[in-house]
Amino acid sequence: MDFDLTTEQQQILEYGNSVAKQYDRRYWLDCAEKREFPAGLYQKVADDGFVGMMVPEQYGGAGQGMTEMHLFLEGLSNNGIPLLNLVVGATMSLGLIAKYGTEQQKQRFLPDACSGKIRFCFAITEPDAGTNSMRITSVAKRNGNRFTLNGQKTFITDADGSDYALVVTRTIPHTEVKRKTDGFTLFAVDLKAKGVSKQYIPVSIPAPETQWQLFFDDVDLGPEDAIGEIDRGFEILFNSLNPERILVGSICCGLGRYALNRAVDYASGRKVFNNTPIGAYQGLQHPLASAYTDVEMASLMTLKAAWIYDQSREAGEFSNMAKLAAADAGTKAVDVALQCFGGNGFTKEYGIFDIYPLVRLLKTAPLNREMILNYIGERVMGLPRSY
């Protein structure tokens, strides 16, 4: 296997270095503290063709794959600039519409979304159906050749700033299906439509993208709003989850690398007891080197998962391992960097602790590490199921 990136892929990875000169970590933090979407950065990314990374060129996209999307997000995160909307919007939503949508849907949504004129979010989680998506109770009930959607979603990233949500719902309740994977349908729902309301969820994590509950009260939908085949949406849903895990891995690897680079710069100049920089002390050097190794190993697994996905092969095994390894490695890297900075790491001036809440969140969401370990143990290694 050739581990070298092509010239184009290397440029995609390095794009974050370029955009950070205008929209840097400080800009991202200012938006996060204000709970304000980074509109300037997002539009810049859209103008440069990266929102439509995985959308075919005829619909305004770049026509690239998951590998390039991974490199792009990792490159941004290498500079301390994670954009969660690019996971739930640009990839999970636009990618699915590009792959499964009708020609009319592609023309309706993709050009404006790629150019930044409209944004998408992805709505699957419910208050009583988080890890177990089979038990979602949101239902789009048939009404002639149309549907009436009722239900609730929670922890929906960027719902307030999005124009549409790709909503995972049932068109057959889970109590009425022969197989638990039957009866799913995905709809593109206009968030300004009658019957749609939202409620803000305060969270303790600094991020520009806010979290929301969505409520659907007799929302009228037509077959033109359904992405893919009615009642057969589980395959589409399943295919959306591997990209999410891969790109969470991309973000965690980048943020871990960003924290370590900051720590190396600090430790190379900081002197305490004599004229020797603290980075020369093995008590700091070894933890930094260990964390760096973990980040680079996780990055390789994430790249492999993206490559497997692009080959249209089953990517669940590698996507889950990439997310697990990267979330653990990113969290360890930030923790080691904090220890290196000492008390300074907890100040606003140095901005190191600000990285920790997000990488720690990504050990729990969008799928907790315990369920990932269950998947690897049962589905990959063949161990018996306990639940």
CATH number at 120-229: 2.40.110.10
For the chain, the domains span: 7-114, 120-229, 235-380
Given this model, what pLDDT does residue 234 score?
A: 86
Q: How many CB atoms lie within 10 A of CB 157?
A: 23
Instruction: Say if 120-229 and 235-380 have the same CATH topology.
Output: no
Given this model, what pLDDT does residue 1 score?
A: 65
Residues 136-168: tens digit of each pLDDT: 899 999 999 999 999 999 999 999 999 999 999
The pTM of the full predicted model, rounded to 2 decimals, is 0.96
**For residue 165, which phi and psi values (nearest 5 degrees)?**
-120, 135
CATH number at 235-380: 1.20.140.10
Average pLDDT, consecutive stretches of 10 residues, N- to C-terminus, the chain (387 residues): 88 96 96 96 97 97 97 98 94 94 98 97 90 86 96 97 96 87 95 98 94 98 96 83 95 98 97 93 97 98 97 95 98 98 95 96 94 96 92
Superfamily holding 7-114 = Acyl-CoA dehydrogenase/oxidase, N-terminal domain (1.10.540.10)
